[in-house]
Amino acid sequence: MTTLIESDEHQALRAAVAALGERHGRDHRTGLWAEAGKLGYLGVNLPEEYGGGGGGIADLSIVLEELGAAGCPLLMLIVSPAICGTVIARFGTDEQKRAWLPGLADGSRVMAFGITEPDAGSNSHRITTTARRDGDDWVLTGRKVFVSGVDIADATLVVGRTEDARTGRLKPCLFIVPRDTPGFARHPIDMELRAAEKQFELVLDEVRLPASALVGEQEDAGLLQLFAGLNPERIMTAAFAIGMGRHALARAVAYARERTVWDTPIGAHQAIAHPLAQAHIDLELARLMMQRAAHLYDAGDDTGAGEAANMAKYAAGEACVRAVDQAVHTLGGNGLTREFGLASLITASRVARIAPVSREMILNYISHQTLGLPKSY
The residue ranges that bind ligand FAD (CB under 6 A) are 79, 113-116, 121-122, 146-148, 199, 351, 354-358, 360-361, 364, 377
Nearer to ligand FAD, 115 or 343 (CB): 115
Kindly state the smallest distance separating residue 324's Cβ from ligand FAD, in Å: 15
Question: Which CB, 45 or 80, lies closer to ligand FAD?
Answer: 80
162, containing H or E segment? strand 155-163
Which of 96, 60, 62, 66 shows the shortest CA–CA distance to 80? Answer: 60
342 contacts 324 by C-beta, under 8 angstroms: yes
Classify residue 153 as exposed, middle or buried by CB count within 10 Å of its CB (0-12, 13-18, 19+).
buried
Q: Is 149 left (phi over 0), alpha (psi -120 to 50) or beta?
A: left
Which of 143/287 has CB closer to ligand FAD?
143
Q: Which residue is nearest to ligand FAD (CB)?
A: 121
Minimum CB distance to ligand FAD, residue 364 (Å): 5
Min separation Cβ 321 and ligand FAD, Å = 13
Cβ at position 113, least distance to ligand FAD in Å: 5
| Burial of residue 177 (number of CB atoms within 10 Å: 0-12, 13-18, 19+) | buried
Query: Quick one: 259 or 359, whose CB is closer to ligand FAD?
Result: 359
Q: Give the pairing of strands 155-163 and 111-114.
A: parallel
Q: Between 122 and 344, whose beta carbon lies closer to ligand FAD?
A: 122
Q: Shortest gap between Cβ of 216 and ligand FAD (angstroms)?
A: 20
Instruction: Tell the smallest beta-carbon distance from residue 362 to ligand FAD (Å).
Output: 9
Backbone angles phi, psi at 84, to 5 degrees: -65, -45
Give whichever of 37 and 149 is closer to ligand FAD, judged by the CB atom: 149
Beta-bridge partner residues of 142: 204
